[in-house]
Structure 1
Amino acid sequence: MISVITPVYNGERFIESCIKVVIDQNCPDIEHIVVDGGSTDQTVEIIKQYAEKYPHIRWISEKDKGQSDAMNKGIAMARGEILAILNVDDYYEPNVLNRVAEIFKTLPEPSLLVGNCNLWNDDGEIFEVNKPARLKFTDLLLGWKINPFPANPSAYFYHTSLHQIIGNYPVDDHDAMDLHFILKAVQVATVKYVDELWGNFRVIKGTKTYHSNTNGQTIQRIEKILKIYRRDLPLFQQLQLGIKRDFLYIKDWILVRIKYFANKPQELPLTLKNKLKKFAIMLNF
């Protein structure tokens, strides 16, 4: 069984569509656990209406200590051996849960299964497709700009038993609990990446992620967390990782500028234009 956990607080704008997304998956062996934090809008009424019609929906509504606490409550309620976190404003592509259930039949326990995710803005446009193909612990420690990690839990799934090894989501962390989970999970689980589109992540006004991105806090927070995990590596691995990061940053810097001047050769001195053309041909720009 797949247990889909949705934490929500005053989410009347999206809760109905979130519930419908899970229903429309037409997956016969699921439960949808909705953990409400004591909403004061119409969220609970909407949940009740659907729970009365669909027995796979289980829910509670009570005050909590934030999103991580709500997710942990859902984990404690979960009956499935496979776990999914679906935030109220995110959604799956069609037939993802059946696809995931089939793949898990071939995976050892505990496993982490990761797909691709669309990132949407307020204009209903996809501004990025997250394809986290490189999921080794040391690859993730290179940083988001070099090697992006999974951007949203709508595109990854894992064995519920994984929490018995790495613990639950940190209750006092309201912003980076997903990153902590991924960094811990890849160290102990069998990790499988599938190059298929599974999730959709709305980075829109009013959400924590949007606010954090706008203020420039997201990258700072990520780098601060990665530094903590890097310091736990043996000294030799820290040195290797640092050299690799520096090399990749320099490589990206050079490639960006080659591409720029390939498109604007008039900004280069005449003596460099021929060399640039050769580089451009080699790099397929």
Structure 2
Amino acid sequence: MLSIITPVYNSERFIATCIEAVIEQNCIDLEHIIIDGGSTDQTVPIIRQYADRYPHIRWHSEPDRGQSDAMNKGIAMASGEIMGLLNVDDGYEPGVLNRVVDRFKVLPEPTLLVGNCNIWDDDGRLVEVNRPAKLSLFELVAGVNIHPYPCNPAAYFYHTALHQKVGLYDIANHYSMDLDFILRAVQAANVVYVDEIWGNYRRLEGTKTVNDMHNGQMNQRVMQLIKHYRKQLPLHQQMQLFGRDFWASMQYFLNKPQALPDAIKAKMLKFSTN
């Protein structure tokens, strides 16, 4: 069975579309677990209406400690040996879930199965297609502009048993919990990349992720995670990345000396005049 988990809070605008996106997949061996964080709008009544009509929908509503906490509650409820996560404002390409279930029939446990993801803006324009083809830990921590990491869980699935090896989602992490999980998962799982578009991720203005991008915090969080997981690489790979970063920085400042910090420019000027 495939278990799809959707964490939700005060999302009356999107919850019906999310539920219908799963229904339209026509996947028989499926359960959709919706974990509501105690919404005060019409989210819960909408969930209840669908759950009364569709037996594959299971749901629970109570205050929680954030998105990671909600996902962990869903994992605890899940009956499926395959796990997928679907945020309330995202979706799938047609027929994806049945193809995923078929692929898992011949994959060893635990496997992380990763596809591509469309990224859309607020106006429904395609911004880019996330193609995370390089998925070893070394490749993922090489840098965000070198090998893209899976940007949204709508485009990857994994054996539920993987959590027994790498743990659950970090409750203290409210923004980059997906990437943190991926960086743990690729070290323990059989990782398979499929060059097909599976997910649709909407970068909507006002959401916590887009706000985090605009204020510059997202890049800092990602770099902190990359720095942390680089320490788990063998020493020769750490040195390889260090050398690559050093020469990349040298090349950048040679091309843009005006970007050098003022303190370094002052020392260089003093050295040149002595």
Measure how far apart 1:240 and its partner are.
1.2
Asked if 2 retains the 8 angstrom alpha-carbon contact of 1:114 and 1:194, the reply is: yes
For residue 189 of structure 2, what is the aligned residue in structure 1? 189
Q: Does the C-alpha gap of structure 1 residues 152 and 249 become closer, same or farther in structure 2, counting only changes over 3 Å?
A: farther
Q: In structure 1, how many angstroms separate the alpha carbons of the residues matched to 2:236 and 2:184?
A: 21
Q: In structure 2, how many angstroms separate the alpha carbons of the residues matched to 1:162 and 1:121?
A: 32
Q: Deviations over 1:87-138 (max 9, x none)?
A: 0000001100001011111110000000000111111111111000000110
Counterparts of residues 172-187 of structure 1 (less than 5 Å): 172-187=172-187
Runs of 4+ in 1 over 6 A off after TM superposition: 248-251
Q: Which runs of 5+ in 2 are unaligned?
A: 253-274
TM-score, normalization by structure 1: 0.86
For residue 240 of structure 1, what is the aligned residue in structure 2? 240
For residue 57 of structure 1, what is the aligned residue in structure 2? 57
Measure how far apart 1:144 and its partner are.
1.0
Measure how far apart 1:218 and its partner are.
1.2
Q: In structure 1, how many angstroms separate the alpha carbons of the residues matched to 2:86 and 2:116?
A: 15
Q: Does the C-alpha gap of structure 1 residues 136 and 250 become closer, same or farther in structure 2, counting only changes over 3 Å?
A: farther
Q: In structure 2, how many angstroms separate the alpha carbons of the residues matched to 1:24 and 1:8?
A: 20
Measure how far apart 1:84 and its partner are.
0.3
Moved more, 59-68 or 204-213: 204-213
For residue 37 of structure 2, what is the aligned residue in structure 1? 37
Q: Deviations over 1:180-207 (max 9, x none)?
A: 1000000010000000000011111121
Q: In structure 2, how many angstroms separate the alpha carbons of the residues matched to 1:195 and 1:115?
A: 6
Q: In structure 2, how many angstroms separate the alpha carbons of the residues matched to 1:30 and 1:73?
A: 18
Asked if 2 retains the 8 angstrom alpha-carbon contact of 1:146 and 1:248, the reply is: no
CA RMSD, Structure 1 to Structure 2 (Å): 1.7
Measure how far apart 1:230 and its partner are.
1.1
1:214 aligns with 2:214: yes
Equivalenced residue count is 254
Q: In structure 2, how many angstroms separate the alpha carbons of the residues matched to 1:95 and 1:171?
A: 32
For residue 109 of structure 1, what is the aligned residue in structure 2? 109
- DSSP-derived class of the 1:187 partner: coil
Measure how far apart 1:232 and its partner are.
2.9
Measure how far apart 1:242 and its partner are.
2.0
Asked if 1 retains the 8 angstrom alpha-carbon contact of 2:138 and 2:233, the reply is: no
Q: In structure 2, how many angstroms separate the alpha carbons of the residues matched to 1:38 and 1:67?
A: 12
Measure how far apart 1:243 and its partner are.
2.5
Q: Deviations over 1:152-205 (max 9, x none)?
A: 000000000000110100111100100110000000100000000000111111
Q: What percentage of residue pairs aligned between the two structures are identical?
A: 62
Q: Which runs of 5+ in 1 are unaligned?
A: 254-285
